[in-house]
Amino acid sequence: MRTILFFLTLTLSAHFGFGQEKNLDTLMNQWHSAARKANYSKYFAFMSDSFIFLGTAPGERWNKEQFSSFAKPYFDKGKAWDFKAHNRLWMFSKDSTIAWFDEDLDTWMRGCRGSGVLHKANGSWEIVYYNLTVLIENEKINRFIELRDQTK
């Protein structure tokens, strides 16, 4: 009987965890799609009021209002950015109200990585944090440092 209960619990946990991941994958894919379609209101509706965005440039740490101001001209022109996510991995808090993830991205900058945090409040998820990074191979880092030093 213990064995049956154990496997039933394991199966239900896996099922509900998978369902939660699938729902959050859909949410994140819709968020990326809203940027691709330059749908400003939909894109920013996914974010909490306390949202933070870390971009690829050294000074790009924006709250929602700052990021919105930065992004608005791109959306207004009908062309924001087109990030295609794959290999997204999810982790969850014990009470399943906080989820964090990392994802590989195909972008105009070539390979990038995004990571983020979502919070479930009043039954719905919102993005509270997103960090976009450009990937660079370790063997290329010295050339990268030389390029960065040129701008100083």
Give the integer Cα–Cα distance in Å for 23 and 51. Answer: 20
Quote the longest CA-to-CA distance of the chain.
69
Q: Minimal CA–CA distance to 111: which of 145, 140, 130, 134?
A: 134
One-letter amino acid identity for 110?
A: R
**Helix-then-strand count for the chain, H and E:** 4, 6
79: part of which helix (H) or strand (E)?
A: none
Structural element, H or E, at residue 89: strand 84-92
Domains of the chain with CATH codes: 2-150 (3.10.450.50)
pTM of this structure: 0.84
How do the pLDDT tens digits run along the chain, 152 residues long? 665 544 444 444 444 455 889 999 999 999 999 999 999 999 999 999 999 999 999 999 999 999 999 999 999 999 899 999 999 999 999 999 999 999 999 999 999 999 999 999 999 999 999 999 999 999 999 999 999 899 76
